[in-house]
Amino acid sequence: MICDITPAYGVLNTIIYKEMQRVAPAKFLFLMRDPVDRLWSQVRMGVAARAKAPEDPADFEAACLAWVRERHRTDKIENIHRADYARTLEKLENALPVETRDTQLLTLFFEDLFCQASADRICAFLGIAPVTAAPDKVANPGRPLRLPEEAEARLYDGLRAQYAFAEARFGRAGLPAVWRDRMARLECVPPPRR
């Protein structure tokens, strides 16, 4: 058995997913993180990876906020493929035979991942021996930075369709608390001016 994990798989198309599942009896585990939190992490990682990344925390925050403002102003947040859960799940489902989807595709929420029950569910889905979860182990921590209200509002505005998709698919009660709380706070807030 081979297992490979990368966020880059989320941007593939149906043809590639079909090829992957034809090579062997492939199984796909799709993890969805709160869209704003996921994109804010990507922003921080991208800004921190720049050749001249700001060292000063205030300058780092300003650089991250500038990234968000520019993408929001130009309507580019909606087009970030790794943030497009609806597209990824559509492409994955179209690649899998209807009769085997439930055994080949498991969709989980990142926020629910760090517990033994989720580890057990993943192992059962993959058909491997159970492993002990290590919920306190952090891998690849990004540069910490609180999410400014303005950035949250702009990111949420650009990702509204993803929240609507997730709610339609899983029901509001089926979403993790962090998703529900953000939606309740921001769904009626007018979008920030571009």
Mean pLDDT of 90-112: 94
pLDDT, tens digit, 9 for 90 and up, residues 153-163 = 999 999 999 99
Average pLDDT over residues 129-152: 91
pLDDT for position 73: 94
CB of 162 closer than 8 Å to CB of 86 = yes
**Is 78:30 a contact under the CB 8 Å cutoff?**
no
User: 108 forms bridges with which residues in the sheet?
Assistant: 31
- pLDDT of 79: 84
Q: Can you tell me the mean pLDDT for 49-71?
A: 95
The C-alpha atoms of residue 10 and residue 4 are separated, in whole angstroms, by 13
165 contacts 183 by C-beta, under 8 angstroms: no
Q: Mean per-residue pLDDT for 127-131?
A: 93
Give residue 163's pLDDT: 97
Say yes or no to pLDDT of 51 above 90. no
DSSP class of residue 189 equals S
CB distance 42 to 190 below 8 Å: no
pLDDT at 111 over 90: yes
* Averaged pLDDT score across all residues of the chain: 93
d(CA 6, CA 97) in angstroms, rounded, equals 23
Query: Given pLDDT bands bounded at 50, 70 and 90, which one contains residue 94?
Result: very high
pLDDT higher for 138 or 47?
Answer: 47
Tell me the C-alpha distance between 53 and 60, whole Å. 7
* pLDDT attached to residue 4: 82
Neighbouring C-beta atoms of residue 115, cutoff 10 Å: 11
- In the chain, what percentage of residues exceed pLDDT 90? 78
Give the pairing type, strands 28-32 and 105-109. Answer: parallel
Q: Tell me what the mean pLDDT of segment 142-150 comes to.
A: 94
Please determine, for residue 110, whether its predicted confidence score (pLDDT) is greater than 80: yes
Q: φ, ψ for residue 122 (rounded to 5)?
A: -65, -45
Helix (H) or strand (E) holding 105: strand 105-109
Exposure of 171 by Cβ count < 10 A (0-12 exposed, 13-18 middle, 19+ buried)? exposed
- Are 36 and 182 spatial neighbours (Cβ–Cβ below 8 Å)? yes
Interatomic CA distance for residues 19 and 26, integer angstroms = 10
Q: What percentage of the chain exceeds 70 in pLDDT?
A: 99
Length of the chain in terms of residues written: 194
Q: What is the pLDDT at residue 37? A: 97
pTM of the model: 0.92
